[in-house]
């Protein structure tokens, strides 16, 4: 994946500044999956900082057009990417829909909320990519609605190999503003972490599911 280095580093710096990304090698977080992790990312925090959300909105909109042209519709993945997806759709002047993890159990039982037509070109917006499973579930729903999914653009990716494999298997092009490598580079440059902590963070990314066992 090609990156604009300046954009990637600025994105990482902003996420670190507002603590949307927290690095804690000495006191790891526990993810919902049960993984122990020295990093935690919650990009919804960006919505509380107008300069940050405006930067992300503009840069994502630019990436969407550079990679895929102006789409007919922007789709956000619920719930984390609904707000940033709306902002990007507004920036591009196109309609917006969002995709639930599964159809509602009541009412019209929609999985896609909003109006979308068969054959429309859609770019999916995500806030964070880990394994890519939930993101690709949204793509599947859009394809089942006969939308033409051009690709996905996200704020940040951990860069797990399983995610790359999943996106490749489903034939979906993923582009992100920043990723784990740029985050660590920026965190070290800005002295958020030490060289020793950098090694811990690099080790975790190699086999995150087993890192928990190593810390026992």
- Please name the residues in contact with 190: beta carbons below 8 A apart, sequence gap of 6 or more: 13, 16
- Please name the residues in contact with 137: beta carbons below 8 A apart, sequence gap of 6 or more: 101
Give the separation between CA 76 and CA 95, rounded to whole angstroms.
11
pLDDT at position 144 is 96
Check whether 204 has a pLDDT greater than 70: yes
Phi and psi torsions of 213, nearest 5°: -65, -35
Total Cβ atoms within 10 A of residue 106: 6
Check whether 92 has a pLDDT greater than 80: yes
3-class secondary-structure state, position 37: strand
Which run of H or of E encompasses 153? strand 148-157
* Region 18-39 average pLDDT: 90
Give the separation between CA 72 and CA 89, rounded to whole angstroms.
10
- Start-to-end C-alpha separation, the chain: 35
pLDDT at position 215 is 44
Check whether 214 has a pLDDT greater than 70: no
pLDDT at position 1 is 67
Reported as a single tens digit per residue, the pLDDT across 120-178 is 999 999 999 999 999 999 999 999 999 999 999 999 999 999 999 999 999 999 999 99
Claim: this prediction has a pTM higher than 0.85? yes
């Amino acid at each position: 994946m090609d990156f604009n280095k300046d954009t990637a580093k600025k994105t990482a710096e902003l996420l670190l500044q507002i603590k949307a990304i927290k690095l804690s090698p000495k006191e790891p977080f526990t993810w919902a999956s049960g993984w122990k992790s020295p990093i935690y990312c919650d990009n919804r925090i960006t919505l509380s900082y107008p300069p940050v959300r405006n930067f992300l909105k503009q840069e994502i909109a630019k990436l969407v057009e550079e990679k895929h042209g102006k789409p007919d519709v922007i789709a956000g993945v619920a719930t984390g990417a609904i707000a940033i997806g709306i902002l990007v759709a507004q920036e591009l002047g196109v309609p917006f829909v969002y995709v639930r993890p599964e159809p509602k159990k009541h009412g019209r039982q929609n999985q896609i909320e909003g109006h979308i037509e068969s054959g429309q070109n859609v770019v999916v917006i995500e806030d964070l990519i880990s394994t890519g499973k939930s993101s690709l579930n949204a793509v599947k729903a859009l394809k089942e609605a006969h939308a033409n999914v051009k690709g996905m653009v996200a704020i940040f990716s951990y860069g797990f190999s399983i995610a790359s494999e999943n996106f490749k298997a489903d034939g979906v092009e993923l582009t992100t503003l920043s990723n784990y490598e740029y985050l660590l580079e920026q965190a070290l440059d800005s002295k958020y972490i030490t060289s020793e902590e950098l090694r811990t963070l690099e080790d975790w990314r190699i086999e995150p599911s087993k890192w928990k066992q190593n810390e026992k």
